């Protein structure tokens, strides 16, 4: 059976793409590459160095200079991958609440997206990778073998994120999470650089009323019935 070597998984926040992407990569024995980790890494470094998140020029310069690498897990502590910034492991630092609160504006800067594009493409084009993000199928890997777009309603996604926050032992209100999710959708969908949208040839999977196991089953079925284009990828 022929399997797609490059798989793009896009979708809005809390649509399930990170969970499904990680499980899919594990099932296939592929590298799981969450491109959002790159933007989180830049945000983390900016905060560590005291840069103003609103200083676009400084943030872009940081993204151009930083050496960010994502590899398979190097420590068995529950991580899905290891993130290095200038050879320093910052895998868990990029998941801090402070990074959560500032990553959206950082990822919206066109210069930041341009600076990180080459690294994302390089990792993706090595093959045997499940790459997750918001513009993988449209910008980063427009010729990916298989493109999947996971979607869900705003309310369902907010409920999922709210439950995640509570599960971590943190306090939150559903209304605040919903408002933050709506704001993030607005930024992601209307930014000038690579706005969030399904690729024209992406297969959309609505996850509203599906369990993780049901979504993974649907996605695996798409992988298993994939067929390479005759004559190769269109130019």
Beta bridge partner(s), residue 69: 84
Identify whether residues 90 and 149 lie together within a single domain: no
Note whether residue 225 is domain-resident: no
Residue labelled with tokens 């005291």: 50
Identify whether residues 119 and 43 lie together within a single domain: yes
Note whether residue 224 is domain-resident: no
Here the CATH number for the domain that contains residue 170 is 3.40.50.300
Report how far residue 36's alpha carbon sits from residue 196's, in angstroms, rounded to the nearest whole number: 13
Better-predicted residue by pLDDT, 70 or 146: 146
Identify whether residues 164 and 178 lie together within a single domain: yes
Domain end: 98, 126, 154, which one? 126
pLDDT tens digits for 171-190? 889 999 899 889 888 888 88
Identify whether residues 141 and 194 lie together within a single domain: yes
Identify whether residues 103 and 145 lie together within a single domain: no
pLDDT tops 70 at residue 169: yes
Q: Beta strand 31-34 with 88-89: parallel, antiparallel or unpaired? A: unpaired
Note whether residue 234 is domain-resident: no
Domain end: 94, 126, 158, which one? 126
pLDDT tops 70 at residue 142: yes
Report how far residue 106's alpha carbon sits from residue 201's, in angstroms, rounded to the nearest whole number: 28
Note whether residue 233 is domain-resident: no
Note whether residue 232 is domain-resident: no
Identify whether residues 54 and 93 lie together within a single domain: yes
Quick one: tokens of 176?
A: 């605040």
If you count them, how many residues does the chain have? 235
User: Which pLDDT does position 143 carry in this prediction?
Assistant: 94
**% the chain with pLDDT above 70:** 97
Provide the residue range defining the domain that includes 186.
1-28+129-219
pLDDT tops 70 at residue 209: yes
Identify whether residues 102 and 215 lie together within a single domain: no
Identify whether residues 63 and 116 lie together within a single domain: yes
Burial class (CB in 10 A: 0-12, 13-18, 19+), 177: buried
Note whether residue 81 is domain-resident: yes
Note whether residue 198 is domain-resident: yes
Of the pLDDT bands very low, low, confident and very high (cuts 50, 70, 90), residue 104 is confident
| Tally of structural domains, the chain | 2
Contacts for 55 with CB less than 8 Å, ≥ 6 apart: none
Identify whether residues 36 and 103 lie together within a single domain: yes
Note whether residue 93 is domain-resident: yes
Identify whether residues 40 and 118 lie together within a single domain: yes
Identify whether residues 135 and 118 lie together within a single domain: no
User: Which pLDDT does position 190 carry in this prediction?
Assistant: 87
Classified as helix, coil or strand, 211 is coil
Identify whether residues 6 and 55 lie together within a single domain: no
């Amino acid at each position: 059976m022929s399997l797609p070597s490059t798989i793009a998984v896009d979708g809005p926040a809390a649509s399930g793409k990170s969970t499904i992407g990680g499980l899919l990569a594990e099932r296939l024995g592929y590298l799981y590459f969450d491109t959002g980790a790159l933007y989180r890494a830049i945000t983390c470094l900016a905060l560590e160095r005291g840069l103003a998140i609103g200083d676009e020029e400084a943030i872009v310069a940081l993204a151009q200079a930083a050496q960010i690498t994502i590899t398979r897990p190097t420590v068995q502590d529950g991580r899905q991958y290891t993130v290095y910034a200038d050879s320093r492991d910052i895998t868990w630092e990029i998941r801090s609440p402070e990074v959560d609160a500032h990553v959206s504006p950082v990822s919206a800067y066109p210069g930041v997206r341009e600076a990180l594009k080459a690294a994302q493409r390089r990792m993706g084009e090595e093959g045997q990778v499940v790459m997750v993000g918001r513009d993988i199928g449209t910008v980063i890997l427009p010729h990916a073998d298989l493109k999947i777009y996971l979607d869900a309603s705003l309310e369902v996604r907010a409920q999922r994120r709210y439950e995640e926050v509570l599960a971590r032992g943190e306090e939150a209100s559903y209304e605040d999470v919903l408002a933050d999710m709506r704001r993030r959708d607005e930024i992601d969908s209307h930014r000038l650089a690579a706005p969030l949208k399904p690729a024209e040839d992406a297969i959309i999977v609505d996850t509203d009323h599906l369990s993780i196991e049901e979504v993974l089953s649907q996605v695996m079925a798409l992988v298993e019935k994939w067929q390479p284009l005759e004559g190769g990828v269109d130019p």
